[in-house]
Each structure stands twice: as structure tokens, then as C-alpha cells.
Amino acid sequence: MSELRIEGLRAGVSGKEILKGIDLVLRSGEVHAVMGPNGSGKSTLSHVIMGRPGYEVLAGSITLDGEDVLAMDTWERAQAGLFLAMQYPTEVPGVSLAQVLSASFAAAGRSATDVPALVGAEAERIGFDARFLTRELNVDLSGGEKKRNETLQLGVLRPRFAILDELDSGLDVDALRACSARVEAATSEDGLGVLAITHYNRLLTVLKPDVVHILVKGELRATGGPELADELETTGYGAYLGEGESDREPQPADPFADPFGPGPFA
């Protein structure tokens, strides 16, 4: 039994505080949904857990079975058993999925010879066309294909905890079912703990949450069982706003946005 513990986490971008004190404990086999409107800090939470450059932790702690996650480099967090399925998986020209997974296995001291077979088995489980596997990572993939690709990597890498950052965005119904069913299976087969960050309920129809958190304005304003997600369907986020608060807030500045247009290797 493993435990990912977030305590008093405050974090932001370019001096602007976005997460204003998050407390959350996720254990093996559990599925926690974090739901909230745009700009509530959902993506920031996922990035801070994985250590994305550009995000500053202002206070609080994240530990994995007592180990200080915030002291680790991103790759060490991954090797320690954390996985982030990204909302917008990055295109990496000229690099294949097999190369990345082999490098990850090698860094863990595992033989990379199993990678092709594992990848093949996972691809079949989620109905991912094998022709994508040797292609450049995320290059020219549709939104849905990218999410299947993220789910496939989760299956091969077998993390202890997965953070799914809007896995349901850009997915058609079939892909959504395939991906969420795969994650659901990992919770029972491997004891995977899941932090599913989502805007909508639809991911949670297959991937049943044990706990639902409502994230508004960088705070968890409510925590409850699956019924909380159903309530949201009728009430919306308005019920969780304080007096004078609007449910719309500008998105935090993307620290990677290039003020001069497409990046050098776009």
C-alpha cells in the first residue's frame, strides 16, 4: 500500500499564487477526481506534482510513502512511481515511443528487451493502431490518438500513482471508454492510485471515483463521494463560489508561451 500525500500546498507561476493550500491523500487502488472550472488551478496541480519547470512551490509538501517528492527531479519522480498523462502531450520530432520507453527502462535498471512486447500488448488492450508505435512521438496524431498514446505509456510504465490531466478532453466516445477502462483495470490489477483531473463527468462514468474534490480558486472547497460529481451536474460550480466571486477567471499565463510565436523547433 502506497500513499501520495499533499499537505498545505501553495504554488504559482511568475509570482502569481494559483494553488492556495491543497490537502489531499491518495492511496493505492483509489480513484480521486478533482473537478473544477477553468482557471481553478487543476492543471497547475498536475504540473506541480510532476515538477514542470516554470511552476514555483511557495509552501507545503508532497510526499510519496514519506519520500520528499518536491526534492526530486521530474525523471526521479517518474522513476519513483508517478505518472502524468498530459492534457496536451508534447510532440517530439524524430523520437519514437519505443526509444523513450527503452530509455526509461534502462534508467530504472530494467532490461529494455521487453518493451516492444509490452507496447504491443498495451496497444491491443486499448485498440491503438500499431502503426503509431514506430512513428515520431505525438507528431501528427489527433487529440484522441495522443490520449491513447498517454494511456498506453501508463500501461507499460505501471506507475504507482497516475495523474490524469483532462484525459477526457479531445477524446471520442470509443477512445474515452477504452482509455478509462484501461486505467480502471490498472487500479484493481496493479493497485494504481489515480488523481483524475477533469472538467466534466463523462470520464467518471467508467472510471468510478472513490472520492470527488471540488477545486475552486485554488482551494478544495468540497470533498465527498461519487454523488458529489452527480450533484455538480445540476448545481454547477456556482454553489462553491464565495460571495462576490465569479466562476470565470483568466487562465494563468502559460510559462512556455513564446511571445514571438511558434518556438524554434515548432
Partner 1 sequence: MASAERFVADGLPTADEEAWRYSRIDDLDLDAFTPADAASAVRPSPPAADRLPVHAAPVIQLVDGRLASLTVPDGWADQGVQIGRVVDVPGAQQLLEALGIEPVDPFARLNEAFSVDPIIVRIPTGVHLDAPIVVTHHVATAGAAAFPRLIVVAGAGSEAVVVDVATSDDVAALSVPVVELHADRGARLRYVSVQDLGLRMWQLASVMASVGQEADLVAAAVALGGGYARLRTDCRLVGRGASGDLLAAYFGEADQTLDFRTFQDHRAPDTTSNLLFKGAVAGRSRSVYTGLIRVEKEARGTNAFQTNRNIKLSDEAWAESVPNLEILNNDVHCSHASAVGPVDEEQRFYLESRGVPPLVADRLIVSGFFDEVLSKLPVDGLAGLVRAQLDAKLEREGTERG
| Options 77-85, 166-174, 186-194, 210-218: segment touching partner 1 (CB under 8 A) | 77-85
E strand intervals along the chain: 3-13, 16-27, 31-35, 55-64, 67-68, 82-85, 92-96, 136-137, 161-165, 193-198, 211-216, 219-224
Per-residue string for binding with partner 1, 122-151, x by CB under 8 A?
--------------xx--------------
> How does DSSP classify residue 200?
S
Residue 103 found at the interface with partner 1 (CB under 8 A)? yes
Nearest to 87 by CA among 205, 214, 5, 196: 196
Report angle CA 76, 35, 75 to the nearest 5 degrees.
10
Cα dihedral sign, 11-240-82-123: negative
Q: Which is nearer to partner 1, 43 or 104 (CB)?
A: 104
Per-residue string for binding with partner 1, 80-99, x by CB under 8 A?
---xx-x--xxxxxxx---x
Report angle CA 50, 23, 77 to the nearest 5 degrees.
20
In the list 43, 87, 153, 198, the residue contacting partner 1 (rule: CB under 8 A) is 153
CB of 214 to partner 1, least distance (A): 26
Residue 107 found at the interface with partner 1 (CB under 8 A)? yes
Binding site for partner 1 (CB under 8 A): 50, 52-53, 73-75, 77-79, 83-84, 86, 89-95, 99-101, 103-104, 106-108, 136-137, 153, 157, 256, 263-265
